[in-house]
Structure 1
Amino acid sequence: MSLLELAGVRREVRLPDGSVLPILTGVDLSVDHGDHVAVVGRSGSGKSTLLNILGLLDAPTGGDYLLDGEPTDRLRARRRSRLRGEVFGFVFQQFNLLPRRTALENVAAPLLYSSGRAYLTRTRAAREMLERVGLGARAEQVPERLSGGEQQRVAIARALVRRPQVVLADEPTGALDVETGARVMDLLTEVTRETGAALVTITHDLSVAALAGRRFRLDGGHLSPLPAGSALAAATSARSGGTA
Structure 2
Amino acid sequence: MTAPSTEVLRVTRLSAGYGPLTVLHDLDFTVHAGERIGLVGLNGHGKSTLFRAISGLTDWQRGSIQLSGHEIGGTRSQGAGRNTHRIVRLGLAHMPQGDAIFPGLSVAQHLDCGAYTRQAWRERMQRRDAVLKIFPPLSKLLDAPVGKLSGGERRMVSLARGLMVDAVLYLVDEPSLGLAPKISRGVMDALMRVDLRGGAMVIAEQNMSLLEGRCNRILGMHAGQLKGSA
Shorter-chain TM-score category? 0.7 to 0.9
Distance 1:160 1:86 in 2: 15
Q: What residue identity is the alignment partner of 2:156?
A: R
In the alignment, which residue of structure 1 is the partner of 2:3? none
* Offset of residue 178 of structure 1: 0.9
Residue matched to 1:95: 99
TM-score normalised by L of structure 1: 0.78
Structure having the higher Rg: 1
Q: For 1:128 and 1:217, how far apart are their aligned partners in 2? A: 32
For residues 11 and 78 of structure 1, what CA distance do their matches in structure 2 show?
16
Which among 165, 181, 184 is matched to residue 184 of structure 2?
181
- Secondary structure in 1 matching 2:39: strand
Q: AA paired with 1:6?
A: V
Letter in 2 for 1:87: G
Q: 1:30 to 1:225 in 2, by over 3 A?
A: same
Larger mean Cα displacement after TM superposition, 122-131 or 39-48: 122-131
Q: Match for 2:139 among 120, 136, 139?
A: 136
CA separation of 1:75 and 1:124: change in aligned 2, threshold 3 A: farther
| CA 1:53–1:14: 2 relative to 1, 3 Å | closer
Task: Mark the CA change 1:110 to 1:42 in structure 2 (over 3 Å): closer, same or farther.
Answer: same
Indicate how the Cα distance of structure 1 residues 220 and 94 shifts in structure 2: closer, same or farther if over 3 A, else same. Answer: closer
Aligned to 1:238: none
Contact 1:192-1:199 at 8 Å conserved across structures: no
Can you give the 5+ residue segments of structure 2 that lack an aligned partner in the other structure? 1-5
Kindly indicate which of the two structures has a greater share of residues assigned to helix.
Answer: 1
- Residue 78 of structure 1 and its aligned partner are, at CA, apart by 7.1
2:201 to 194, 199, 202: 199
Q: Deviations over 1:181-223 (max 9, x none)?
A: 0110010121144x44311111221113323211111112211
Q: Which moved more, 1:170-179 or 1:72-81?
A: 72-81
What fraction of aligned residue pairs are identical, expressed as a percent?
Answer: 25
Within 5 A, what are the aligned runs for 1:154-165?
A: 154-165=157-168
**Structure 1: any 5+ residue segments left out of the alignment?**
16-20, 227-244
Q: Partner of 1:190 in structure 2?
A: 193
TM-aligned CA distance change 1:53 to 1:157, over 3 Å: same
- Picking from 201, 219, 224, the partner of 1:221 is 224
Count of residues in correspondence between the two structures = 218
Q: Distance in 1 between matches of 2:146 and 2:170?
A: 22
The one-letter amino acid of 1:203's match is E
1:73-106 CA distance string (max 9 Å, x none): 4699876522324512222332112111110110
Change (3 A) 1:85 1:102: farther
Q: Distance in 1 between matches of 2:25 and 2:75?
A: 23
In structure 2, distance between residues paired with 1:143 and 1:80 = 25
Q: Secondary structure at the match of 1:3?
A: strand
Aligned to 2:113: 109
What does 1:1-244 correspond to in 2, within 5 Å? Answer: 1-15=6-20, 21-58=21-58, 61-73=61-73, 80-111=84-115, 113-115=116-118, 118-134=120-136, 135-193=138-196, 195-210=197-212, 211-225=214-228
TM-score, length basis structure 2: 0.83
| Cα distance between partner residues in 2 of 1:12 and 1:114 | 29
- 1:130 is displaced (CA, Å) by 2.5
Q: 1:144 to 1:213 in 2, by over 3 A?
A: same
Return the alpha-carbon distance in structure 1 between the equivalents of residues 90 and 133 of structure 2: 22
